[in-house]
A and B are shown apart, each in its own frame.
Chain A
Amino acid sequence: MPTGSQLIATSRYTLSPKARADIEHAIHHYPDPRAASIDALKIVQAEEGWVPDGAIPAIADVLGIPASDVEGVATFYSLIFRQPVGRHVIKLCDSMVCYVNGHEQVLDAIKTSIGIGLGETSADGRFTLLPICCLGNCDKGSTMMIDDDTHGGLTPESVVPLLEQYK
């Protein structure tokens, strides 16, 4: 079986010692190293903000699986980013309870405020705006996460000053 580095021979990327150690620690939670592929992608993403091309074969080498499998996983999951994202990632819940509570108006206010649409990153690298599945705050719709913070009860008026807190 070809290794990751044979498949993408042109990419040069070295995992940081901490990332490598964290991935090797995660492997011990499972009987098969492949199971740590999502953990590994999240470990790299925590350091880099996203998963650079070269990290795919580097992770594949640590796990002993084909790079194409790691890429298949990386592109399947919505919270693994295969392109650079902003310093802050806005995840706006677009599920039905937030719809009933007016999330589309909140979305319009965000778009106007930071000048980007869903799936886009602002030119200054400050924000990326994404939709997300129901965040389980259904008594407080409309709701969103910015990075790891959850905010509820959003209105078009309240969301703009909230964004100002994220520089």
Chain B
Amino acid sequence: MKLSSFGPANTITRTAESHPLTWRLRDDGAVVLLKEYESKNGYAAARRALKEFAPDDIVNAVKDSGLKGRGGAGFPTGVKWSLMPKDDSQNVRYLLCNADEMEPNTWKDRLLMEQLPHLLIEGMLISARALKANTGYIFLRGEYVEAARNLNQALDEARTAGLIGKNVLGSGFDFELYVHTGAGRYICGEETALINSLEGRRANPRSKPPFPAAVGVWGKPTCVNNVETLCNVPAIVANGNDWFKSLALAGSEDMGTKLMGFSGKVKNPGVWELPFGITARELFEDYAGGMRDGFTLKAWQPGGAGTGFLLPEHLDAQMYAGGIAKVGTRMGTGLAMAVDDSISMVSLLRNMEEFFARESCGWCTPCRDGLPWSVKLLRALENGEGREGDIGVLEQLVGFLGPGKTYCAHAPGAVEPLGSAIKYFRSEFEQGISATAAAPAAAAHSGVSA
């Protein structure tokens, strides 16, 4: 059984003007290799960028476009790029592509890498030129075996065609690009953990500053960008900023399009390239088709495990960073999940915190100790064995593990859904408190038959 489609991503109407990321996809979901990619105007943007643009022109074009990172944090890409040193004597620089897609319910980069590997290579070539980086790595999670195969095949084609290697397209610019596959652990997607992992070390995040732009992989200036972010760069160079800014709908402060999705017990789970600013309701009803018969939407999460839960009444929020912030959480990756009325929020959160606890790298205490503690409390509540005060302890953990308390965003991401679930579904948590376990000291031993 082979999985080639991503729901209907390949079959919605797509044009080069409106769907810069996905218009080249084949309807059958097969990989687009060099000949077909070039017949669809592929590498035209790279040829133009290498011939007509100075590196700083590309940086400025991306900065002016308003492109933001598509990996979940949404940091402005051009600003990140302009943090790289201006001093040309620092001439060993690296461009890393974060393709360690492991966030629960995130399945967009796999689509691009499996079916359009040359779009990522072209995006990296132009971006590396902008950053004056002569070496790039695609840090790909090891489980994405088809993406690895297709990327390596595309890289071989690109090398043979002179698109990668010495003196690319006669421009005088050298660019070598490698696919590096990982060996598990969600934390590798944190950009400084990714750098440590690429160096062949345990994937613990690094203390910042210094930031990777100053001291990155092997101590050199380094830029880490997400797959989808890099795939936006060719069209920005080819079509210009006025076009890019015209893609998003009225009211959106974010520019361009985004791979968005909906999963869970919806009729038509899938990933689609959509303009920023569409409402979550359009995504849920028009694209995902609403809930399957017999199920009712209870809650939804806008963009990955590390974003907060929202209620059906929030579906009118616009899908862009500020639009989701207005209803109290983050857009994250933009791939939403529906929670139906058959699911207990306490059990769901127990599942999620087990994941976050297992994947904690163990470097800093709040995360290493706090997350297993939350699992223990949630499991007790799930089994109806919770004690008075357990919800208060969970709320304390939400605070202790929140933003700014840990070296990286793993723990804050873990407690964001927990805090929101307690806020909106407190009664479900309260139902898990045992009437007979009110006295903590006795509770541990009572009711257990040996």
Interface residues of A (CB under 8 A from B): 29-32, 34-39, 41-42, 63, 69, 72-73, 76-80, 91, 94-97, 99-101, 131-141, 145, 148-152
A95 → chain B closest CB, angstroms: 4
**8 Å CB interface, B151-205 against A:** 178, 180-186, 197-203
Residues of B within 8 Å of A35, CB to CB, are: 198-200
B192 → chain A closest CB, angstroms: 15
Task: Tell me which of A34, A36, A79, A100 contacts B340 (CB under 8 A).
Answer: A100
**What are some 12 contacts across the A-B interface (CB < 8 A)?**
A77-B183, A78-B185, A79-B182, A96-B104, A100-B265, A100-B339, A132-B143, A132-B184, A133-B186, A136-B144, A139-B263, A152-B3
User: How many residues in B have their beta carbons less than 8 Å from beta carbons of A?
Assistant: 56
Task: Tell me which of B103, B203, B354 contacts A134 (CB under 8 A).
Answer: B103
Kindly report which residue of chain B lies nearest to residue A65, judged by CB atoms.
B200
Q: Mark B251-287, 1 if CB is under 8 A from A, else 0.
A: 0000000000101110001110000000000000000
Residues of A within 8 Å of B2, CB to CB, are: 150
Kindly report which residue of chain A lies nearest to residue B343, judged by CB atoms.
A100
Kindly report which residue of chain A lies nearest to residue B109, judged by CB atoms.
A136
Number of A-B contacts (CB under 8 A): 136
With A32-B200, A78-B185, A100-B339 known, 18 other A-B pairs at CB within 8 A are A31-B218, A34-B200, A38-B200, A77-B185, A79-B143, A79-B182, A96-B355, A99-B352, A100-B265, A131-B358, A133-B186, A138-B107, A138-B261, A139-B6, A139-B261, A139-B270, A139-B271, A149-B1
Report how far A150 CA is from B264 CA in the complex, Å.
19
Residue B106 at the chain A interface, CB threshold 8 Å:
yes
Q: Across the interface, do A32 and B218 meet the contact criterion of CB distance under 8 Å? A: yes
Residue B364 at the chain A interface, CB threshold 8 Å:
no
Report how far A34 CA is from B196 CA in the complex, Å.
11
Report how far A99 CA is from B347 CA in the complex, Å.
9
Residues of A within 8 Å of B22, CB to CB, are: none
Report how far A95 CA is from B156 CA in the complex, Å.
34
The answer to whether A96 and B305 touch (CB under 8 A), given A38-B197, A133-B359, A134-B106, is yes
Residues of A within 8 Å of B144, CB to CB, are: 136
Q: Across the interface, do A100 and B355 meet the contact criterion of CB distance under 8 Å? A: no
Kindly report which residue of chain B lies nearest to residue A29, judged by CB atoms.
B178
Q: Across the interface, do A100 and B143 meet the contact criterion of CB distance under 8 Å? A: no
Q: Across the interface, do B335 and A32 meet the contact criterion of CB distance under 8 Å? A: no
Q: Across the interface, do B107 and A79 meet the contact criterion of CB distance under 8 Å? A: no
Kindly report which residue of chain A lies nearest to residue B145, judged by CB atoms.
A148
Residues of A within 8 Å of B202, CB to CB, are: 72-73, 76
B332 → chain A closest CB, angstroms: 13
Q: Across the interface, do A133 and B104 meet the contact criterion of CB distance under 8 Å? A: yes
A29, A30, A34, A132: residue with the most chain B Cβ atoms closer than 10 Å: A30
B95 → chain A closest CB, angstroms: 15
